[in-house]
Structure 1
Amino acid sequence: MSVSSPPQKDIQESPEAGFGKRPLGKRLIEANTFWIGLVLLALVILFSAIAPDSFPTLFTFQTLFIESSVLLILSVGMTFVIITSGIDLSVGSVLILAGMVAGKVMEALSGGDASKAGWGVILVGLVVAVVTGTIWGLINGVLVAVAKIPALIVTLGTMGAALATAYLLNGGSDLRTVPAELTKTLGYGTSFGIVPNLVIVAIVITVIGAWLLRTTKFGRYTFAVGSNAEGARRAGIGVTAHLLKVYTLTGFLAGIAGFLSLAYYNSTTISGHTTDNLNAIAAVVMGGTSLFGGVGTILGTVIGVFIPAVLRKGFNIIHVQDFWQMFIVSWVLVAAVWFDQRRRRRHNSR
């Protein structure tokens, strides 16, 4: 009996592994990404028709992409975690902590006034942010994969611990001294005249994440662990080691996101990131990644990030009240989970 058959079956039936030799049209119709892409396109067309002078403008799309960049980076990491049938509630707090630690280090290296710091200090701040996020992700991985504590409990605890640590580092308030050169170049700078540098960084990270998930052994192992962890272990995959890598990767990306947030907002903006973990989970699920594990795409996650972003931007332009925005976006998430469960049941009944 072949011990590798359980994960192999699930992997080949996942969106990332293709659809065999079926016609292209049928593959598109059966792909979750195709349908959620149509939803996003329909929203753009709808708001463009309702507000033709305000919504379909270069400024609107620039701000839309910039405001979504930090969440997109968090969501790329969250995609890997959820495909393994895990969860990470701590990413928003780790983002805040990484930004706070980087800001404090840059402030210390600048003699108390980080606003005039040069690129040497800025690069040190970047390294510190990434290391902070990576270490916190590794802690999550050890507790989940080695200590065998449920991911929900672990990351709920580390979420509070990371946020509390960030508050303690600056006396319970935001840090507001950020190098002006960092904000000017990365936070608000553009390349090619129109493309924000922040967006370029997010695109590069997203493309690397898609490549990692779709074409590498790391990606195949991610699907295998999420589809059938015991089957993957019997097939020779180091499940514990792989989960360590996945949670560490998520922390690494949260560290980068924290530094980019610092650059854009010119502050740690603690209150603005406290729900980023839920927003990232929502984006990943809207994008077709299964909460049960084993299924997901980075392209779907990208679309899942932009569906609520377009909804909020469009609602703001046409002056829909905030509580209606929350109501509609929340039900979109519920609908996405319902659709995922239906698709999962159909798949299991074959």
Structure 2
Amino acid sequence: MKYTGKIAETNFSMVAEFILLGFSDLPNLQGLLFGIFLIIYASILLGNSLIIVITKVTAALQTPMYFFLGNFSFLEICYTSVTIPRILSDLWIQKKNISFLACAVQLGSLISLGATESFFLLVMSYDRYVAICKPLYYPIIMNHKKCLYLVIGIWIIGIPLQAAQTYQVFSLSFCGSNELNHVFCDIPPLLKLACGDTSLNELFVYAGATIFLTVPSMLIFWSYIKIIKTILKLPSAMGRRKAFSTCSSHLTVVGLFYGSCFITYLRPKSSHSPGVDKILSLFYTILTPLFNPLIYSLRNKDVIVAIKQLVPR
């Protein structure tokens, strides 16, 4: 099915709407895709809500690690709620139009929450670093007040990036087709529709990705080098296994999120293709929130015990 639309060529204030093509190239699979995304969204809501509940009501999980995990799960619910309801709506009613304002809000929310997720993963790795490498100072360093300030700061830190990046993109002039070949409003497909020179905008994207992706990922990598060195020095084999098990859960989520984000935002413009961009975007916006509860529950005995205690209630 081909979607067409007319877009003003003068300036961004005149733009009325974009057309999100999404999965329109698969007309015979719209019903199946709707069912798949509905199940995924329900699983994300249920799984992450369960993590939030058990980290709040289980006495054994009242530690900084699970305090961050509960907040991270809430973030995952917010993150997916920016995109999946819109995808479900498009698949169900086959209305692909998205207004200029709605597109800007969606993009700004994604950028802000993406930056928040990146720094949550960094703080969670710092928590593991202090717990394993400085266990005697852990209660002092990671006290409740400090943890609370960290969480508040993480939620706020993405707002300046969201405002700046969104303004940069939507201050461009758009000409020609208004068909956005993507499942939601994202920077790469929007820049493809812009007319004129977008090199400054692309440079701004790389700068933002460096600050909010490269720097946190390098700090996480450094912290885990220290953690692994400390774990290998532990005298007890059981202690080493427990430490590796706890850290591997976090590292799996880190790999899923940063890997897909790096490929999406830091690879050359010439290598971008709509099909690949759609798949990669689903990794960091949907699959990471989907697998987060599974990864942390299946590889964490404390969480498994807490779930078993909660379910009979």
Q: Is the pair's TM-score, using the shorter chain for normalization, greater than 0.5?
A: no
- TM-score scaled to structure 2, two decimals? 0.37
Higher normalized contact order (CA 8 Å, seq sep 6+, divided by chain length)? 1
